[in-house]
Amino acid sequence: MMKLNQLVLASHNAGKLKELQAMLGEAVQLRSIGEFSQIEPEETGLSFVENAILKARNAARISGLPALADDSGLAVDFLGGAPGIYSARYADGKGDAANNAKLLDALKDVPDAMRGAQFVCVLALVRHADDPLPILCEGLWHGRILHAASGEHGFGYDPLFWVPERNVSSAELSPADKNQISHRARAMDLLRHRLGLK
């Protein structure tokens, strides 16, 4: 079991830092990679796992600290798992609204029964940049894609993602509720268990 009191998060996203720190609890302090470098590594992997490890190793190398990276996205069954690892840049980096519009267009005449999807999160933790045994934790959150956006919370594809167990879209959940059931929450539960924080 790994004992840690500090981790660097391989992300410049303040929202993600806050969300993951809340899930991790007080025992481990998360620091942003932004304290050490503004440069983002190129995500050259072909899977969530590869990209998470790549980002974690890069953050550990830059900071000299153990590092945690999250690679996540949306995998739509009808689209063969797309947008997948390209979720954030699905519409050529034009932002959330453009990504959502492109997804709705791709599923234009697809019936509800064929609109299954899952949010995927892979967390990778490395003790140092050359760690031969990264800790990998995966979380899946199953739902389906709506025909139109609904809800004001969250970000990314949240307004289009229907959560069957709550009968609302992800963007209609409170942040606290989402942090209990999301793909990221599920992966973090596994990580907390691996680190002996539960």
**Domain spanning 6-194: which CATH class is it, in words?**
alpha beta
Domain residue ranges of the chain, discontinuous segments joined by +: 6-194
The per-residue pLDDT for range 3-25, each reduced to its tens digit, is 678 999 999 888 788 888 988 88
Q: Residue 2: what pLDDT?
A: 59
What is the pLDDT at residue 23?
86
- Asked if omega into 175 is within 30° of 0 (cis), the reply is no
95 is in an annotated binding site: no
Q: Looking at the predicted structure, is the pLDDT value of residue 162 above 90?
A: yes
51 assigned binding-site residue: no
Checking if the pLDDT of 1 tops 50, the result is: no
Mean pLDDT of 111-133: 97
Please state the three-class secondary structure of 5-58 as a single string: CEEEECCCCHHHHHHHHHHHCCCCEEEEHHHCCCCCCCCCCCCHHHHHHHHHHH
What pLDDT digit, counting tens, does each position of 21-39 carry? 988 888 899 999 999 998 8
Whether 56 and 46 have beta carbons less than 8 Å apart is answered as no
Separation of alpha carbons 52 and 10, rounded Å: 9
Q: Which residue has the higher pLDDT, 169 or 179?
A: 169
- Residues labelled catalytic: 71
Q: Global pTM? A: 0.92
For 110-118, what is the mean pLDDT? 97
Q: In angstroms, what is the C-alpha Rg of the chain? A: 17
With cut-offs at 50, 70 and 90, classify the pLDDT of residue 198.
Answer: low
3-state secondary structure (DSSP) of residue 120? strand
| Confidence at residue 3, expressed as pLDDT on a 0 to 100 scale | 64
72 is in an annotated binding site: yes
Q: Is 157 annotated as a binding residue?
A: yes
Instruction: Consult the annotation and say whether 153 binds a ligand.
Output: no
Q: Is 152 annotated as a binding residue?
A: no
